[in-house]
Amino acid sequence: MDNNTLAIYMNELSNQALQTKGAFDLFNQALEAKAPMGVLFSLNAVMLNASQLAAILWPPRARARPRAEKLRELLQLNEKHSLNDRRLTEYWDRSDEKMDEWITSTRGEKVVFDYVGSFNDLDKAGIKDAGLYRAYDPERKIYFFRGIGYNIETIAKAMMDVGSRIMQVHQQMFPPQQQPPAGKEQAPAEEVAAPTVEKKKAAPKKKAAPEKVATPKKEAAVKKAPAAKKVPAAKKVASKAKAKK
């Protein structure tokens, strides 16, 4: 794997780790606010980001495994890991087909959509785990999607482990810009001040007020001079004298 390809993958892994953390933050806020739709929305974001990250590091397809092995070696990750779960890496693959399969498998049975609460109540109602399309139990910390359960606490711990490794390597590859030495801190200020100085120097050139004022006066004088020579008026007087004769 060349350095450019490695940099792209590490940047994407970093983004997925940060987005997963952001999704968990929203999840915790929704739990505290007792907002069911917020809980399910944030859990969906958690699962999507965790799935993409897991698929990069533990891909289900054979042709991608050499790349994944190099990335795991860089991150010092073992083959056996909580995120190395085929159900997780293929979480969103063939989503429409999996929905058709779930509908077929649960035909004639009780099903539940968008539920947040104790699964004990669902058990009493005769609803099986396979009939849970989207549901979360805060007590067991289990999230079901299309009849498949995921332990959210396990995923959270796994993401903390993988995310910390990713961010450490990412900072080594893309170190933050160093602060300039104390003697060079004034350089940006001088650059910013430079245009101000130039404007002040250019200001006298713009003060052409005396010339502008003098110009209209000269033009007015030129206009008055022709006005005194009323040549057409003299012609009219001559024509009147001929008429008297």
Residue 39: pLDDT band (50, 70, 90) is: very high
How confident is the prediction for the chain on average, in pLDDT? 79
**Cα three-residue angle 23-28-29, rounded to 5 degrees:** 95
User: From CA 203, how far away is CA 158, in angstroms rounded?
Assistant: 65
Residue 182: pLDDT band (50, 70, 90) is: low
Does position 123 have pLDDT exceeding 70, yes or no? yes
Give the model's pLDDT for residue 79: 87
What are the phi and psi torsion angles at 174 (to 5°)? -125, 75
Using CA atoms, how far residue 38 sits from 24, 34, 60, 186, 239, in Å, is: 11, 8, 31, 49, 101
Strands 134-137 and 142-145 turn out to be antiparallel
User: From CA 9, how far away is CA 56, in angstroms rounded?
Assistant: 8
Give the model's pLDDT for residue 5: 92
User: From CA 194, how far away is CA 148, in angstroms rounded?
Assistant: 65
The CB density around residue 29, as the number of other CB atoms within 10 Å, is 13
Does position 26 have pLDDT exceeding 70, yes or no? yes
Give per-residue pLDDT as tens, 74-97. 999 988 899 999 999 989 888 899
Does position 184 have pLDDT exceeding 50, yes or no? no
Give the model's pLDDT for residue 181: 52
What are the residue ranges spanned by the domains of the chain?
A: 3-173
Run of H or E including 108: none
Tokens of 57: 């590091």
Report the pLDDT averaged over residues 142-169. Answer: 95
Q: Which amino acid is at 2?
A: D
Distance between alpha carbon 122 and the CA centroid of its chain, in Å? 39
What is the phi-psi region of residue 147: left when phi exceeds 0, alpha when psi lies from -120 to 50, beta otherwise? Answer: left
Q: Looking at the chain, how many residues does it have? A: 245
Does position 57 have pLDDT exceeding 60, yes or no? yes
